[in-house]
Amino acid sequence: MKVIAFNGSPRKHWNTAMLLEKALEGANSQGAKTRLIHLYDLSYKGCISCFACKTKGGKSYGECIVTDDLKPIFKKIESADALIFGSPIYLGNVTGEMRSFLERLVFQYLTYTDPPGSLFNRQIITGFIYTMGVTEEAMNQLGYSQFMNLISMFLTRTFGSSESLCCFDTLQFKDYSKYVAPRFDPESKIKRHNEVFPHDCHKAFEMGQRLAKG
Protein backbone atom coordinates (compact mmCIF):
# COMPACT_ATOMS: atom_id res chain seq x y z
CA MET A 1 0.00 0.00 0.00
CA LYS A 2 1.42 3.37 -1.09
CA VAL A 3 -0.10 6.61 0.21
CA ILE A 4 1.02 10.00 -1.10
CA ALA A 5 0.01 13.31 0.48
CA PHE A 6 0.22 16.73 -1.17
CA ASN A 7 0.63 19.89 0.88
CA GLY A 8 -0.96 22.86 -0.88
CA SER A 9 0.20 25.31 1.78
CA PRO A 10 3.38 27.39 1.50
CA ARG A 11 4.01 26.57 5.18
CA LYS A 12 5.74 23.25 5.79
CA HIS A 13 5.32 23.11 9.56
CA TRP A 14 1.92 24.61 10.27
CA ASN A 15 -1.73 23.50 10.38
CA THR A 16 -2.18 21.86 6.96
CA ALA A 17 1.22 20.19 6.91
CA MET A 18 0.79 18.94 10.48
CA LEU A 19 -2.58 17.38 9.66
CA LEU A 20 -1.19 15.73 6.54
CA GLU A 21 1.68 14.32 8.58
CA LYS A 22 -0.83 12.91 11.07
CA ALA A 23 -2.83 11.36 8.22
CA LEU A 24 0.34 9.70 6.93
CA GLU A 25 1.13 8.49 10.44
CA GLY A 26 -2.29 6.84 10.44
CA ALA A 27 -1.60 5.23 7.08
CA ASN A 28 1.83 4.10 8.23
CA SER A 29 0.28 2.48 11.31
CA GLN A 30 -1.52 0.16 8.88
CA GLY A 31 1.71 -0.77 7.13
CA ALA A 32 1.49 1.70 4.25
CA LYS A 33 4.51 3.31 2.64
CA THR A 34 3.99 7.06 2.76
CA ARG A 35 5.34 10.25 1.24
CA LEU A 36 4.55 13.94 1.73
CA ILE A 37 5.10 16.28 -1.22
CA HIS A 38 5.13 20.05 -0.74
CA LEU A 39 3.63 21.62 -3.86
CA TYR A 40 5.32 24.97 -3.22
CA ASP A 41 8.69 23.24 -3.72
CA LEU A 42 7.75 22.40 -7.31
CA SER A 43 7.86 24.50 -10.48
CA TYR A 44 4.70 24.19 -12.58
CA LYS A 45 1.65 26.02 -13.90
CA GLY A 46 -2.00 25.14 -14.33
CA CYS A 47 -3.53 23.52 -17.41
CA ILE A 48 -2.46 25.31 -20.63
CA SER A 49 -5.52 24.08 -22.57
CA CYS A 50 -3.49 22.40 -25.32
CA PHE A 51 -5.85 19.37 -25.34
CA ALA A 52 -3.00 16.98 -26.15
CA CYS A 53 -4.47 14.65 -23.52
CA LYS A 54 -7.74 14.58 -25.53
CA THR A 55 -6.35 14.24 -29.10
CA LYS A 56 -7.59 11.19 -31.04
CA GLY A 57 -4.77 8.73 -31.57
CA GLY A 58 -2.33 11.11 -29.93
CA LYS A 59 0.75 9.85 -28.09
CA SER A 60 -0.32 11.83 -25.04
CA TYR A 61 -3.99 10.76 -24.95
CA GLY A 62 -4.93 10.55 -21.28
CA GLU A 63 -1.61 12.02 -20.22
CA CYS A 64 -0.51 15.60 -19.63
CA ILE A 65 2.06 16.52 -22.28
CA VAL A 66 3.65 19.36 -20.33
CA THR A 67 7.16 18.60 -19.08
CA ASP A 68 7.83 20.21 -15.73
CA ASP A 69 8.10 19.19 -12.07
CA LEU A 70 4.68 17.54 -12.13
CA LYS A 71 5.71 14.97 -14.75
CA PRO A 72 7.50 12.62 -12.30
CA ILE A 73 4.82 13.26 -9.66
CA PHE A 74 2.10 11.99 -11.99
CA LYS A 75 4.16 8.84 -12.57
CA LYS A 76 4.30 8.22 -8.83
CA ILE A 77 0.54 8.72 -8.57
CA GLU A 78 -0.04 5.99 -11.15
CA SER A 79 1.36 3.43 -8.70
CA ALA A 80 -0.22 4.90 -5.54
CA ASP A 81 -3.07 3.22 -3.68
CA ALA A 82 -4.37 6.36 -1.94
CA LEU A 83 -3.93 10.12 -2.25
CA ILE A 84 -4.41 12.77 0.42
CA PHE A 85 -4.63 16.44 -0.49
CA GLY A 86 -4.38 19.33 1.94
CA SER A 87 -4.86 23.06 1.55
CA PRO A 88 -5.64 26.14 3.60
CA ILE A 89 -8.45 28.35 2.32
CA TYR A 90 -7.25 31.53 0.61
CA LEU A 91 -9.92 34.02 -0.49
CA GLY A 92 -12.65 31.40 -0.30
CA ASN A 93 -10.91 28.55 -2.13
CA VAL A 94 -7.86 26.30 -2.10
CA THR A 95 -4.47 27.88 -2.73
CA GLY A 96 -3.37 28.69 -6.27
CA GLU A 97 -0.76 25.92 -6.21
CA MET A 98 -3.32 23.32 -5.19
CA ARG A 99 -5.82 24.54 -7.77
CA SER A 100 -3.22 24.39 -10.56
CA PHE A 101 -2.12 20.95 -9.39
CA LEU A 102 -5.70 19.64 -9.43
CA GLU A 103 -6.29 21.07 -12.91
CA ARG A 104 -3.29 19.25 -14.30
CA LEU A 105 -3.87 16.04 -12.36
CA VAL A 106 -7.58 15.57 -12.96
CA PHE A 107 -8.11 16.98 -16.45
CA GLN A 108 -5.72 14.56 -18.16
CA TYR A 109 -7.88 11.63 -17.04
CA LEU A 110 -11.37 13.04 -17.56
CA THR A 111 -13.16 12.12 -20.77
CA TYR A 112 -15.50 14.27 -22.84
CA THR A 113 -18.06 11.49 -22.95
CA ASP A 114 -21.67 11.31 -21.82
CA PRO A 115 -21.59 10.45 -19.00
CA PRO A 116 -18.05 11.65 -18.26
CA GLY A 117 -15.55 8.90 -17.52
CA SER A 118 -11.98 8.49 -16.31
CA LEU A 119 -8.83 7.23 -18.02
CA PHE A 120 -7.05 6.55 -14.74
CA ASN A 121 -5.97 2.92 -14.84
CA ARG A 122 -7.83 1.78 -11.70
CA GLN A 123 -9.80 2.95 -8.70
CA ILE A 124 -8.01 4.30 -5.64
CA ILE A 125 -9.07 6.17 -2.52
CA THR A 126 -8.60 9.90 -1.97
CA GLY A 127 -9.03 12.30 0.93
CA PHE A 128 -8.91 16.08 1.25
CA ILE A 129 -8.03 18.09 4.37
CA TYR A 130 -9.09 21.75 4.46
CA THR A 131 -7.87 24.26 7.05
CA MET A 132 -9.32 27.72 7.51
CA GLY A 133 -9.20 30.65 9.90
CA VAL A 134 -12.99 31.07 9.95
CA THR A 135 -15.54 29.22 12.05
CA GLU A 136 -17.78 26.46 10.72
CA GLU A 137 -20.71 28.88 10.83
CA ALA A 138 -18.81 31.42 8.73
CA MET A 139 -17.78 28.70 6.29
CA ASN A 140 -21.42 27.78 5.74
CA GLN A 141 -22.42 31.42 5.34
CA LEU A 142 -19.66 31.98 2.77
CA GLY A 143 -20.66 28.89 0.80
CA TYR A 144 -17.32 27.07 0.91
CA SER A 145 -19.11 23.74 0.65
CA GLN A 146 -19.91 24.45 -2.99
CA PHE A 147 -16.32 24.28 -4.23
CA MET A 148 -15.49 21.48 -1.78
CA ASN A 149 -18.33 19.39 -3.20
CA LEU A 150 -17.03 20.06 -6.71
CA ILE A 151 -13.53 18.93 -5.77
CA SER A 152 -14.96 15.81 -4.14
CA MET A 153 -17.03 15.10 -7.25
CA PHE A 154 -14.03 15.40 -9.59
CA LEU A 155 -11.81 13.27 -7.35
CA THR A 156 -14.51 10.61 -7.09
CA ARG A 157 -15.18 10.65 -10.82
CA THR A 158 -11.47 10.41 -11.60
CA PHE A 159 -10.16 8.02 -8.97
CA GLY A 160 -13.20 6.26 -7.49
CA SER A 161 -13.90 7.78 -4.07
CA SER A 162 -13.15 10.76 -1.85
CA GLU A 163 -13.70 11.96 1.70
CA SER A 164 -13.08 15.35 3.30
CA LEU A 165 -12.01 16.77 6.66
CA CYS A 166 -12.53 20.44 7.55
CA CYS A 167 -10.60 22.12 10.36
CA PHE A 168 -12.05 25.44 11.46
CA ASP A 169 -10.89 28.59 13.24
CA THR A 170 -7.23 27.61 13.00
CA LEU A 171 -4.30 29.51 14.48
CA GLN A 172 -2.77 31.84 11.89
CA PHE A 173 0.21 33.15 13.88
CA LYS A 174 2.31 32.12 16.84
CA ASP A 175 2.37 35.72 18.08
CA TYR A 176 -0.66 37.81 17.15
CA SER A 177 0.93 40.95 18.62
CA LYS A 178 3.23 41.18 15.60
CA TYR A 179 0.39 41.50 13.08
CA VAL A 180 -2.47 43.87 12.35
CA ALA A 181 -5.39 41.49 12.91
CA PRO A 182 -7.84 43.10 15.37
CA ARG A 183 -10.77 40.93 14.23
CA PHE A 184 -9.21 37.93 16.00
CA ASP A 185 -9.01 37.31 19.73
CA PRO A 186 -5.52 35.87 20.29
CA GLU A 187 -6.43 34.22 23.59
CA SER A 188 -9.46 32.50 22.09
CA LYS A 189 -7.44 31.40 19.07
CA ILE A 190 -4.67 29.90 21.19
CA LYS A 191 -7.18 28.26 23.54
CA ARG A 192 -9.00 26.64 20.64
CA HIS A 193 -5.71 25.53 19.07
CA ASN A 194 -4.66 23.85 22.30
CA GLU A 195 -8.02 22.20 22.90
CA VAL A 196 -9.48 21.46 19.44
CA PHE A 197 -6.54 21.08 17.06
CA PRO A 198 -5.35 17.86 18.76
CA HIS A 199 -8.79 16.38 17.99
CA ASP A 200 -8.41 17.50 14.36
CA CYS A 201 -5.04 15.76 14.28
CA HIS A 202 -6.67 12.58 15.58
CA LYS A 203 -9.35 12.81 12.87
CA ALA A 204 -6.60 13.17 10.26
CA PHE A 205 -4.84 10.14 11.75
CA GLU A 206 -8.06 8.15 11.44
CA MET A 207 -8.50 9.29 7.84
CA GLY A 208 -5.04 7.97 7.06
CA GLN A 209 -5.91 4.67 8.69
CA ARG A 210 -9.11 4.34 6.67
CA LEU A 211 -7.42 5.14 3.40
CA ALA A 212 -4.61 2.66 4.09
CA LYS A 213 -7.15 -0.05 4.86
CA GLY A 214 -8.80 0.53 1.49
What does the pLDDT read at residue 58?
79
Q: What is the tens place of the pLDDT at every residue in 85-103?
A: 999 999 999 999 999 999 9
What does the pLDDT read at residue 120?
94
* Residue 113: burial class (beta carbons within 10 Å; 0-12, 13-18, 19+): exposed
The model's pTM: 0.94
Q: Distance between CA atoms of 192 and 135, rounded to whole angstroms?
A: 11
Question: Could you read off the pLDDT tens digit of each residue along the chain, which spans 214 residues?
Answer: 999 999 999 999 999 999 999 999 999 999 999 999 999 999 999 999 999 999 988 789 999 999 999 999 999 999 999 999 999 999 999 999 999 999 999 999 999 999 999 999 899 999 999 999 999 999 999 999 999 999 999 999 999 999 999 999 999 988 999 999 999 999 999 999 999 999 999 999 999 999 998 8
What does the pLDDT read at residue 214?
81
Q: Distance between CA atoms of 155 and 118, rounded to whole angstroms?
A: 10
What does the pLDDT read at residue 3?
97
Q: What is the tens place of the pLDDT at every residue in 143-165?
A: 999 999 999 999 999 999 999 99
CB 206 within 8 A of CB 22: no
Facing residues of 165 across strands? 129
**Domains of the chain, CATH where assigned:** 2-213 (3.40.50.360)
